[in-house]
Amino acid sequence: MKYHVSTIGCQMNEADSRRLASALERLGYTPAERAEEADVVVLNTCVVRQSAEDKAVGRLGAFKSLKDRRPEMVLGLMGCLVGVRDAAPLRKRFPWVDVFMPPSEPEPLLAFLAERGLVDEARVLETEAAARRYHLPDGGLLLPAREQGALVSAYIPIVLGCSTGCTYCIIPYRRGPERSRPPEDIVAEAQALAAQGVREITLLGQIVDRYGLDLADLQTCTLADLLHRLHEIDGLQRIRFLTSHPAWMTDDLLDAVADLPKVCEHFEVPVQAGDDEVLAAMQRGYTADDYRRLVARIRERIPNASIATDVIVGFPGETPEQFQRTYDLLAELRLDKAHIARYSPRPQTLAARKYPDDVGPEEKERRRKALDALQAEIVGEINCRLLGQAVEVLVEGRDERKARWYGRTRTDKLVFFEDAVPSSSPCRAGEGSDWRGKLARVRVTWAGPWSLIGEIVE
Ligand code: SF4
């Protein structure tokens, strides 16, 4: 029996799809490269913008013709298109789908397969229990078979959902309120991943800094506490976390990043806009000056830190002057990365209900391009400062087409390097050198806005 999982969307969806694959393999399924070859097909979806939702609906249409040809195939729909709401309207809209799964909840599919007698019920209950806690009681297989020993960097969801009401955001409506996972479950999952060859973990949450605030008294554990516990795990070389929120980053967290060698000095802190009126209409809970102060705090405490952000252009009512303040803020702060998105009205959200989407698509695109060009210039200059310097790279894999390895610096910059290694190095070229999962020192010989190229130093 074969399965195929198709994933659209964020790191959280990737982590959920990996967990679903692991559970199906535990039930005896094996992976199929293509949906056409699979007995169970799952589409994991994102609706953060209309374009993502259109992509999901389009792909679901393609799976319909497959289902028409092979009615015995089990088709599951998962993620934010389903959300934590009643699936009845979706059942009517997509009658060819067999199972609807809320984000991070594979259980309905496992139960459906058991009901159909396609899998052993007892194993389903055991697998469900394991899946719920993201790890297996016996610490057994956590990663899908083909990723064991091959996956260098893995995502670990630590906070599910979000209880913050940014007016443009659909996530709270689709992923539900914020709930932190018990710290012992996260530590056990990280240990199991390290035992299977993972060298870097990235802790995930919509507001990862709020980890633990909803935990019962007996379990109090902040993100900083959690980082200290994970830091003790043998085999792990790097720890990252995302996504932060300007209103929730504590000095304890900055101290943990500064003091714990495995925790990478890279921050993902969305600003979304540089104008206070726009930020207020977004209900982000901070001002542009608050954001400036946060960036200054990070750079004072961790001088070589890298900071990435998210920006939405064309929010309802955003005037050219207000957009110019966003532009000026990015020009002033010179951040390492900025994901720029055009405002997309989302159903159920306050902004979609209250504010007309009055910034035209051409103007949104003009603003997006302007910020992208600015950011490319800034990051190009920042990366050029690394020329001739040796950087530490955790090697994630090899691009066979170009015969070169790739990985990331601690500050999340993508680096490529070729095989030529000095004779003294234990990973001598041509002798099956395998840098995967290893830390390499690479001297930067070329720098662009989006990646670096270098040569091995040792
Ligand atoms: S913090 Fe705001 S933007 Fe982020 S997931 Fe929560 S509601 Fe959405």
Ligand 1 geometric centre to CA of 171 (Å): 6
Q: Could you count the other beta carbons within 10 Å of the beta carbon of residue 224?
A: 21
Tokens of 32: 């199929």
Q: Where are the alpha helices (DSSP H) in 6-146?
A: 11-26, 50-69, 88-93, 107-115, 121-132
Rounded (5°) CA angle 345-351-355: 95
Ligand 1 geometric centre to CA of 305 (Å): 24
CATH architecture designation of domain 145-384: Alpha-Beta Horseshoe (3.80)
145-384 has the same fold as 2-133: no
What is the 8-class DSSP label of residue 386? T
Handedness of CA 433, 437, 440, 442 (dihedral sign): positive
Reported for 84-88, long-range contacts at CB under 8 A and 24+ positions apart, including other chains, are: 84/161, 84/174, 84/175, 84/176, 85/173, 85/174
Q: Could you count the other beta carbons within 10 Å of the beta carbon of residue 207?
A: 20
Ligand 1 geometric centre to CA of 159 (Å): 12
Average pLDDT, integer, range 320-326: 98
Q: Which residues pair with 266 in a beta bridge?
A: 306
State how beta strands 179-180 and 159-160 pair: antiparallel
Residue 417, pLDDT score: 96
Instruction: Kindly give the number of the ligand 1 atom that is closest to the alpha carbon of 243.
Output: 4
* pLDDT above 70: residue 67: yes
State how beta strands 404-408 and 390-399 pair: antiparallel
Q: How many Cα atoms are found within 13 Å in the side-chain-facing hemisphere of 88? A: 1
* pLDDT above 60: residue 441: yes
Residue 427, pLDDT score: 47
Q: Is residue 245 within 6 Å of ligand 1 at its C-beta? A: yes
Q: Is residue 208 within 6 Å of ligand 1 at its C-beta? A: no
Residue 420, pLDDT score: 63
Strand order in 337-342's β-sheet?
266-268, 306-313, 337-342
The C-alpha atoms of residue 157 and residue 180 are separated, in whole angstroms, by: 9
- Cβ-contact 378, 334 below 8 angstroms: yes
* pLDDT above 80: residue 133: no
Average pLDDT, integer, range 227-240: 98
Instruction: Kindly give the number of the ligand 1 atom that is closest to the alpha carbon of 169.
Output: 8
Name the 3-class secondary structure at 376: helix
Concatenated DSSP letters for 122-161?
HHHHHHHHHHHTTS-TT----S-GGGTTT--EEEEE-EES
Return the best residue to mutate from 48, 164, 168, 174 for the ligand 1 pocket (most ligand atoms within 8 A of CB). Answer: 164
Residue 242, pLDDT score: 98
Question: 56, exposed or middle or buried, with CB in 10 Å at 0-12, 13-18, 19+?
Answer: buried
Concatenated DSSP letters for 221-252?
--HHHHHHHHHT-TT--EEEEE---TTT--HH
Ligand 1 geometric centre to CA of 242 (Å): 12
Which residues lie closer than 8 Å to 291 by C-beta, 6 or more apart? 246, 269, 271, 329
- Cβ-contact 384, 447 below 8 angstroms: yes
280-307 residue pLDDT tens: 999 999 999 999 999 999 999 999 999 9
Ligand 1 geometric centre to CA of 348 (Å): 14
Give domain limits for the chain. 2-133, 145-384, 390-456
CATH architecture designation of domain 2-133: 3-Layer(aba) Sandwich (3.40)
Ligand 1 geometric centre to CA of 347 (Å): 15
* pLDDT above 50: residue 428: no
Return the best residue to mutate from 47, 48, 169, 269 for the ligand 1 pocket (most ligand atoms within 8 A of CB). Answer: 169
Q: Which residues pair with 154 in a beta bridge?
A: 201
**CATH class assigned to 390-456:** mainly beta
Ligand 1 geometric centre to CA of 303 (Å): 28
Q: Is residue 244 within 6 Å of ligand 1 at its C-beta? A: no
Average pLDDT, integer, range 102-126: 87
Handedness of CA 435, 392, 411, 294 (dihedral sign): positive
Q: Is residue 196 within 6 Å of ligand 1 at its C-beta? A: no
358-414 residue pLDDT tens: 999 999 999 999 999 999 999 999 999 999 999 999 999 999 998 999 999 999 999
Return the best residue to mutate from 206, 213, 242 for the ligand 1 pocket (most ligand atoms within 8 A of CB). Answer: 206
What is the 8-class DSSP label of residue 425? S
Looking at ligand 1, which residue's alpha carbon is closest to its atom 4?
Answer: 206
Rg (CA), the chain: 23
Strand order in 74-79's β-sheet?
30-31, 2-7, 40-45, 74-79, 99-101
Residue 424, pLDDT score: 52
Return the best residue to mutate from 163, 171, 175 for the ligand 1 pocket (most ligand atoms within 8 A of CB). Answer: 171
Q: What is the dihedral of CA 109, 110, 116, 120, to 10 degrees?
A: 170
Omega within 30 of 0 (cis) for the link into 30: no
Looking at ligand 1, which residue's alpha carbon is closest to its atom 1?
Answer: 164
The C-alpha atoms of residue 358 and residue 318 are separated, in whole angstroms, by: 9
CA-closest candidate to residue 179, choices 202, 212, 224: 212
Lowest mean pLDDT among 224-233, 263-272, 421-430: 421-430
Tokens of 435: 């840098």
The C-alpha atoms of residue 344 and residue 351 are separated, in whole angstroms, by: 10
Q: Is residue 162 within 6 Å of ligand 1 at its C-beta? A: yes
